[in-house]
A and B are shown apart, each in its own frame.
Chain A
Amino acid sequence: MTGTNGKTTTTRLITAALSPLGFQIASNIYGANMEAGLISALSRAPDARIAVLETDEKYITAMVKATRPKVVTLLNLSRDQMDRAAEIWLLARRWREALADAPDCRVVANADDPLVAWAAGSARQVTWVAAGQRWREDSWCCPNCGAHLQREGDDWSCLECGDRRPPVSWMLYDDEVIDPSGRSTPLQIALPGRANRSNAVVALAVAEAFGVQPSYALREMRLVTSIAGRYTQVSRRGCDIRLLLAKNPAGWLEALDVIAPPPAPVLLAVNAQGPDGRDTSWLWDVDYRRLRGRTILVGGERRLDLAVRLEADDVQFQLVNDIDEAIDAARSPSLEVLANYTAFQQYRTVLGRVQ
């Protein structure tokens, strides 16, 4: 399982979806997705017959070679932590090469993301999922030839080289999944947001490759309510706090769709430590104008970067030093928190390592 956003959540959903098989499953459920995390996940469950492994985007090519997986799942590709991650066209090319060399592997891929579709296009067997694509700033151009893509709704095609969105067998339609037989089933998962419904459809397509029917898989997936503190509701000093984690522009775009409508106050927090990426430029790729008129609090170690960004979008806000200052300033029974990685972990620690 790889992709820029949704890896940890989708790994958790796949693990749930496969549980009806009754096998022990090895999985790195806390998101440690490079060598150490993967080896640790496998060694914790040496007798497991199945491993569901979230894998770093750069590391997936080595994993495909080393483990010859039954299924490789590709979610999406977009700009992320550019100071340490590879450029995404380059990543897509490496995925494409690795999958061309893995003929036994089934690929489950998002057909709505042109870069992902191009990367998966070299594989012998692909299950195409219409999982949607909210963030499009990294795929205006054809990954194959570079020409400006024609886009209409979720459809995309290139007039220059003829590359186009492949026909899909799984589809997300509002809150329903349409499976390859054409049957539509309500997802009704507990996790919020379009991105998670999209992750759920991908998980169902993976489950089918292991012989688990959607109805059985969904029953388990609906029990997943939070992932390592994400989406968790926790109460502090009489305020119900909900934590959302997003690390890059595509993630923030999806998260801004998930936060409760006004008047719920929102705390936005940004750090720029190593795991976050030390470069805050990405803040300028997010459109914050829809936050105008709301109570917005700004925290995290790089709150001034975010403050200048919000000022440019004419969003009123108040700077806060920590979660308690935010609760005081919110003067509300609830508070939505959207933070990037280490900012999220700092709040989570203060709130008692909520799961």
Chain B
Amino acid sequence: MRPLRLVWVFPDLLSTYGDRGNVLVLERRARLRGIPVEIIDINSDQQVARDGDIYLMGGGEDLPQTLATRRLLADGGLHEAAERGAVVFAVCAGYQMLGVEFGGADDAPVKGLGLLDIRSGRGEHRAVGEIVADVDPGLNVGRLTGFENHQGVTRLGPTVRPLARTSLGTGNGDGTEGAYAGRVLGTYLHGPALVRNPNLADLLLYWAVGPLPPFPPQADELAGRLRAERLAAVAAFQ
């Protein structure tokens, strides 16, 4: 069986806080189903692999975000992969990069990758804290729980759908959280966003390989307990 290729884009520039967690969660959930996995880390001085199945981008400070975007536009590999139907999953700064433009270090607009019809700028307040949001029912993912830490405000254009509606936290800033179009999906849940959201991880795997065989429920027990604990901890604030 050809291994599932997980491509982590620019961990040297875009890995602020636990971003590796998303790679590890996808790897584990694929292997539990008997799907072999190959993890490919692409640093910013390397060419982006063209033949990946799932591309991941993490968070980053303003300058690395701008540099990473410039490099990805020049390289073209991520765009090639996305056009071919590969899955792209990006969090926080990576999410903003997917858009048409985002706010750079001096808040001047920076041209984004243009893979999602979104535009981001800087908000007045930094959004820091737990976030809870209900995913677009069509995606069958349910409720998201995570942590956000950003000052971005993101407006969604007509060709993307919001990933979720927030019930706690800021997300895009207008009651929605994240965005997706086709198999390109971004979220403000930062760092290891998939850890507490196994259904979202499985959606990405499903997009990449098709229907997923089940695995023993005890392999999901701890993640389920963590998820329940975090949702219960913030239930009073919603």
Contact = CB atoms under 8 A, between A and B. Distances in A.
Nearest to B12: A140
A328 interface: no
Given A89-B63, A146-B64, A148-B44, 4 more contacts: A281-B147, A284-B18, A285-B17, A304-B225
A215 B130 CA distance: 52
A88 B25 CA distance: 27
B199 interface: no
B223 interface: yes
B149 A148 contact: no
A318 to B, nearest CB: 13
A79 B19 CA distance: 12
Interface stretch (B108-116, B190-198, B203-211): B190-198
A325 interface: no
B15 interface: yes
A79 B13 CA distance: 13
B75 interface: no
A4 to B, nearest CB: 14
A146 B63 contact: yes
A148 B128 contact: no
A230 B17 CA distance: 26
Contact of A308 (B17, B19, B147, B222): B222
B106 to A, nearest CB: 13
Contacts of A282: 17-18
Nearest to A279: B147
Contacts of A47: none
A138 B149 CA distance: 18
Interface string B5-26: 0000001110111111100110
Interface in A269-285: 278-285
A279 B149 contact: yes
A103 B188 CA distance: 42
A281 B24 CA distance: 13
Nearest to A89: B61
A309 B195 CA distance: 9
B57 to A, nearest CB: 15
Nearest to B24: A312
- B interface, how many residues as a size bin? 35 or more
A90 B12 CA distance: 17
Contacts of A278: 129-130, 147
Contacts of B44: 141, 147-148
Given A141-B12, A148-B44, A308 B61 contact: no
Interface in A75-121: 79, 82-84, 87-90
Given A82-B16, A281-B147, A308 B195 contact: yes
Interface in A297-352: 304-305, 307-309, 311-313
B73 interface: no
Contact of A305 (B11, B25, B130, B226): B226
B17 A82 contact: yes
Contacts of A87: 16, 61-62
A316 B61 CA distance: 35
B33 to A, nearest CB: 15
B45 interface: yes
For A87, A146, A283, A313, the residue with the greatest tally of chain B CB atoms inside 10 Å of its CB is A146
A235 B225 CA distance: 34
A312 B25 contact: yes
For B28, B128, B195, the residue with the greatest tally of chain A CB atoms inside 10 Å of its CB is B195
A82 B191 CA distance: 11
Interface in A246-300: 278-285
B15 to A, nearest CB: 7
A284 B45 contact: no
- The 7 A-B pairs with the shortest beta carbon distances in the complex, nearest first, are A281-B191, A281-B18, A284-B21, A284-B18, A140-B12, A148-B45, A304-B226
Given A141-B44, A284-B18, A146 B191 contact: no
A137 interface: yes
Nearest to A277: B17
A308 B223 contact: yes
Contacts of A83: 128-129, 147, 149
B13 to A, nearest CB: 6
A82 B223 CA distance: 23
22 contacts: A83-B129, A89-B61, A90-B61, A137-B11, A140-B11, A146-B63, A148-B45, A278-B129, A278-B147, A281-B18, A281-B21, A281-B191, A281-B192, A284-B20, A284-B21, A284-B195, A285-B15, A285-B17, A304-B226, A312-B24, A312-B28, A313-B24
